[in-house]
Amino acid sequence: MEIRTVGVVGAGQMGNGIAHVMALAGYDVMLNDISQDMLEKGLAKIHSNLERQVSRDKISADDMKAAMARIKPTVQLPDLGQVDLVIESATEREAVKQSIFEQLVPHLEPHTILTSNTSSISITRLASGTDRPEKFMGFHFMNPVPIMQLVELIRGIATDQETFQACSAVVEKLGKTSATSEDFPAFIVNRILMPMINEAVYTLYEGVGNVTSIDVSMKLGTNHPMGPLELADFIGLDTCLAIMNVLHDGLADTKYRPCPLLTKYVEAGWLGRKTGRGFYDYRGETPVPTR
């Protein structure tokens, strides 16, 4: 089947990026969130990011205007019922995602493909709560979506080949590259990345190095563009903790035990850039390490 219309659930950091690239690639996009305020913030972010691309001659002003015109915001989840492809991009909590699918499924067309942008949760388990496990799969974009080239495609145990091929074609039309992962906790990228971040937090927790030393060591010693603690702040410490818990619970291996310091930061509400404080304090002109 050919995908022409796309519904995106969630207008936050990932959702607005997904809507951005979909609209720019020519898809008509229905963008949903629970409040008008969240939708307006998401649309403003898309507009700002498109303007940046125009200023860097990546796209034309006409491309930007056309992309914005293709995005239709709505606070009514049932409005997404007529689209060909739904990409759920809500918070990384399984109960929230299941609730969204329960509300959405009765309104979907028989041909509609359901996907989740989850970075760690079982696709098979999410699919089992819907009426179309064969038309359900993981569609995991990297952050920031307009810049990062990879999309992880994850098949559940029941996902059929037609669904996989349709999603692969979408990735190709976006000008991105897909990697296929089996449905195991955290898939490929986060199965490798999150334990590295968690180990960096343990390195801080045990006093091996401070925030600056750890990040500088990894940037200059391994040529990473961002240090692991800086990257954790960018991703969101709550998301990092959620993924580590999925790994720890799903694989029952103590090597995936979340660092107590990561848990403490999340309990404090220091979630990184989005809250103004994490391993760095972002409330001044330049970020300052908090430890």
Catalytic residues: 119, 140, 152, 190
Structure tokens at 262: 């990561």
Select from 180, 122, 141, 139 the least CA-distant residue to 3: 139
Strand ranges in the chain using DSSP code E only, listed in sequence order:
5-9, 28-32, 71-74, 85-88, 113-116, 136-141, 150-155, 177-181, 280-281, 288-289
Q: Is 13 annotated as a binding residue?
A: yes
**7 vs 87: CA distance, rounded Å:** 6
Q: Is 119 annotated as a binding residue?
A: yes
**265 vs 259: CA distance, rounded Å:** 10
**109 vs 61: CA distance, rounded Å:** 35
Q: Is 33 annotated as a binding residue?
A: yes
Distances (CA, A) of 223 to 188, 215, 216: 21, 11, 10
Contact 49/146 with Cβ under 8 angstroms?
yes
Q: Is 92 annotated as a binding residue?
A: yes
First to last CA, the chain: 53
Q: Is 143 annotated as a binding residue?
A: yes
The residue count for the chain: 291
Q: Is 14 annotated as a binding residue?
A: yes
Q: Indicate the annotated binding residues.
A: 10-15, 33, 92, 97, 119, 143, 274
Binding site, annotated residues for NAD(+):
10-15, 33, 92, 97, 119, 143, 274
